[in-house]
Amino acid sequence: MGGAAGRIAPLSGELTLSFLTRIAVRYHLGIRDVLAAVTDVGGQRNLTGMLYPDSEIHLNAQARARVSALCHVPQHVLEQALPAWTREEPSGKHGTGPAGRLLRGEEAVAAWGPACPACTAARTGRDVPARRYLAPEQRVCARHRYWLLYLPHTSGLPVPLGRCPEVIEAQRRHVRLLHRSPAAAPAFEVARAVTGTWWEQPLPHEEQQWPARLEATRPIEADPNWWKVVARDLITYPETVALAQVLASPRRQQHTLTQARGHLPYRLGEIPTLLAELADQLHRPWLARHLADVTHGPLFTWAHSLVHTRAAPTPAAQRTLWKVHSSHQPRPLSDLLPQPPAADGTPPAPQPKPAKRLRGHSLQAEHAFERSLAHAHVYHRQHGHLAVPKEDSPDGYPLGGWLSGLRTRHTRMPAHQAAVLHALYPWWNAPWSTLWQRTWHQARDHTDTHGPLQSARGFPTTSYSLGEWLYLQCTRYPTLHPEQQHLLTQIGITAAAAAAACPRRRNMRAGAQEALAHARSYTAEHGHLAQVSATTVHHGYPLGRWLAGQRSQQQRKVLSPERQQALHAIDPWWCPPWNLRWQRHYYRARDAAASRPLHPDNGFSDLDDSGTADWLWRQCATYDELHPEQRQLLTDIGITTEAARTAREHARTAPRTPAATSGPDADAEDTTGQARRAADPAPPTSTRRARRAAEPKRPRAPRSRLGHRPDLRPGFEAALAHARTYAAQHGHLAAPRDTLHDGYPLGAWLFSQRNRAKQRARDHLPPSPHLTELTAIDPWWNPPWDTVWQRNYYRARHHIEAGEPYDPVARIPAPSTVLGSWITRACLQYDQLHPDQQHLLNTIGITAQTAEQWPPSPRPRPHAEALTHARTWASEHGHLCPPIKTVHDGFPLGEWLNRQRELAKKRSSPSPTQQALATIDPWWNPPWPILWQRTYHHAQADPRHPTARHWLQNQRHRWLLLHPDQQHLLTRIDIAPPT
> Read out DSSP for 687-713?
HHHHHHHHSPPPP-PPP-TTS--TTTH
Residues 793/842, Cβ–Cβ less than 8 Å: no
Question: pLDDT at position 830, please?
Answer: 83
**Helix (H/G/I), strand (E/B), else coil: 557:** coil
How sure is the predictor about 372, in pLDDT bands with cuts at 50, 70 and 90? very high
> In Å, how far are 735, 749, 773, 775 from 727, measured between CA atoms?
9, 14, 13, 12
For the beta sheet containing 100-104, the strands, ordered from the edge strand earlier in sequence to the opposite edge, are: 47-48, 100-104, 55-59
**Helix (H/G/I), strand (E/B), else coil: 103:** strand
Which of 261-275, 674-688, 706-720 has the highest average model confidence (pLDDT)? 261-275
The vertex-803 CA angle with 797 and 806, nearest 5°, equals 65
Residue 126 pLDDT greater than 90, yes or no: no
How sure is the predictor about 698, in pLDDT bands with cuts at 50, 70 and 90? low
* Cis before 856 (ω within 30): no
CA–CA gap between residue 743 and residue 161 (Å, rounded): 92
Neighbours of 243 (CB within 10 A): 23
CA–CA gap between residue 188 and residue 533 (Å, rounded): 69
Q: What is the mean pLDDT of residues 655-682?
A: 42
Question: pLDDT at position 706, please?
Answer: 43
CA 943 to chain centroid = 43
Question: pLDDT at position 679, please?
Answer: 39
CA–CA gap between residue 574 and residue 570 (Å, rounded): 8
CA–CA gap between residue 911 and residue 900 (Å, rounded): 10
First-to-last alpha carbon distance for the chain, in angstroms, is: 86
Closest by CA position to 277, among listed 310, 295, 299, 297: 299
Residues 425/405, Cβ–Cβ less than 8 Å: no
CA–CA gap between residue 928 and residue 342 (Å, rounded): 68
Question: pLDDT at position 686, please?
Answer: 43
Angle between helices 165-180 and 184-200 (to 10 degrees): 140
Closest by CA position to 151, among listed 106, 99, 192: 106
Residue 692 pLDDT greater than 80, yes or no: no
The burial of 501, by beta-carbon neighbours within 10 Å (0-12 exposed, 13-18 middle, 19 or more buried), is given as buried
| 8 membership: H or E segment, kind and range | none
The burial of 409, by beta-carbon neighbours within 10 Å (0-12 exposed, 13-18 middle, 19 or more buried), is given as exposed
Residues 608/717, Cβ–Cβ less than 8 Å: yes
How sure is the predictor about 681, in pLDDT bands with cuts at 50, 70 and 90? very low
Residues 205/196, Cβ–Cβ less than 8 Å: no
178/605: higher pLDDT = 178
How sure is the predictor about 811, in pLDDT bands with cuts at 50, 70 and 90? confident
Residues in the chain, overall count: 979
> In Å, how far are 16, 23, 47, 91 from 44, measured between CA atoms?
21, 21, 9, 14
The vertex-914 CA angle with 911 and 919, nearest 5°, equals 130
What percent of the chain is predicted at pLDDT more than 70? 89
Beta strand extents in 115-164 (DSSP E only): 131-133, 140-141, 146-149, 157-160
Residues 274/291, Cβ–Cβ less than 8 Å: no
CA–CA gap between residue 42 and residue 759 (Å, rounded): 85
Residue 663 pLDDT greater than 50, yes or no: no
What percent of the chain is predicted at pLDDT more than 90? 35
Any idea what DSSP says for residue 41?
E
Q: Specify which residues 47 forms β-bridges with.
A: 100
Neighbours of 509 (CB within 10 A): 8
Question: pLDDT at position 468, please?
Answer: 86
Q: Specify which residues 114 forms β-bridges with.
A: 131
CA–CA gap between residue 659 and residue 673 (Å, rounded): 13
Task: Please give the mean pLDDT across all residues of the chain.
Answer: 84
Question: pLDDT at position 593, please?
Answer: 81
Any idea what DSSP says for residue 157?
E
Q: How does pLDDT run across 537-580, given as a tens digit for each residue?
A: 888 788 988 999 898 888 888 888 888 899 999 999 999 988 88
Radius of gyration of the chain (CA): 44
Residues 603/619, Cβ–Cβ less than 8 Å: no
Which of 190-194, 350-354, 620-624 has the highest average model confidence (pLDDT)? 190-194
Residue 344 pLDDT greater than 70, yes or no: no
Q: What is the mean pLDDT of residues 252-268?
A: 90
Closest by CA position to 959, among listed 977, 972, 974: 977
Contacts of 968 (CB under 8 A, 6+ apart): none
> In Å, how far are 405, 750, 774, 782, 798 from 778, measured between CA atoms?
45, 12, 6, 9, 16
Q: How does pLDDT run across 414-442, given as a tens digit for each residue?
A: 888 999 999 999 999 999 999 999 999 99
Residue 365 pLDDT greater than 50, yes or no: yes
Residues 543/537, Cβ–Cβ less than 8 Å: yes
| 44 membership: H or E segment, kind and range | strand 44-45
Question: pLDDT at position 489, please?
Answer: 94
465/693: higher pLDDT = 465
Instruction: Sort strands 140-141 and 146-149 into parallel, antiparallel or unpaired.
Output: antiparallel
Question: pLDDT at position 339, please?
Answer: 60
Q: How does pLDDT run across 863-908, given as a tens digit for each residue?
A: 778 888 898 888 888 889 999 888 888 788 898 998 888 888 877 6
**Helix (H/G/I), strand (E/B), else coil: 544:** helix
Residues 461/451, Cβ–Cβ less than 8 Å: yes
For residue 82, is it left (φ>0), alpha (ψ between -120 and 50) or beta?
beta
Question: pLDDT at position 428, please?
Answer: 93
Q: Specify which residues 131 forms β-bridges with.
A: 114
Residues 867/859, Cβ–Cβ less than 8 Å: no
Q: For the chain, how are helix, strand and coil distributed in percent, rounded to 5?
A: 55, 5, 40
Residues 25/77, Cβ–Cβ less than 8 Å: no
CA–CA gap between residue 39 and residue 778 (Å, rounded): 84
Residues 24/127, Cβ–Cβ less than 8 Å: no
Neighbours of 552 (CB within 10 A): 12
Closest by CA position to 497, among listed 481, 482, 475, 479: 475
Q: Specify which residues 100 forms β-bridges with.
A: 47, 59
Q: How does pLDDT run across 10-54, given as a tens digit for each residue?
A: 999 999 999 999 999 998 899 999 999 999 988 888 899 999 999
Any idea what DSSP says for residue 182?
T
Q: Which amino acid is at 322?
A: W
Closest by CA position to 19, among listed 80, 65, 82: 82
Contacts of 553 (CB under 8 A, 6+ apart): 559
